[in-house]
Amino acid sequence: MPVETTAELEAILGYETIAVVGCSSTPGKAAHDVPKYLLEHGYDVIPVNPFADEIFGREVYDSLADVELRLDVVCIFRPSDEVSEIVDAALERDDVRVIWTQQGIRDDEAAARAEDAGRDVVQDKCMKVQHRQLVA
């Protein structure tokens, strides 16, 4: 079952390192503004986008496989039909604890695979909104 309870969400929001797949360099887009908010609130945001070199003054990685840093959460800002491939890439890593798909994004089959592999899954929720409601 995907994470739904307040206690589970609060625990996840306690993790520090978040890879943002689909992070955007365009202000005004949710894929830019949400990670910027997270960065401003103390999270170590790792942008993943094959079409950018730098976002927020940080190095951008082409894929999750290219990230050599330890990751706690993979936050997905890509269309639902791309989630499965991203989840598979996250599952190839031993460090990822949580797969989080932003509001309007979900893939129940990929979520079930992630849960079967021992990962927590949050679907169709905005990380910024949850942080404001539960932590800030």
Distance (Å, rounded) from C-alpha 61 to C-alpha 49? 6
- CATH number for 106: 3.40.50.720
What pLDDT, on a 0 to 100 scale, did the predictor assign at position 135? 86
- Looking at the chain, how many residues does it have? 136
Q: Is residue 52 part of a domain?
A: yes
How many structural domains is the chain composed of?
1
**Torsion 58-63-68-74 (CA) sign:** positive
- Rounded Cα distance, 46 and 75, in Å: 10
Q: pLDDT for 55-101, tens place per residue?
A: 999 999 999 999 999 999 999 999 999 999 999 999 999 999 999 99
Q: Which amino acid is at 33?
A: D
Reply yes or no on whether the pLDDT at 2 is more than 80.
no
Between β-strands 58-59 and 54-55, what pairing exists: parallel, antiparallel or unpaired?
Answer: antiparallel
Which residues form the domain of 14? 6-134
- For residue 1, tell me if it sits in a domain: no
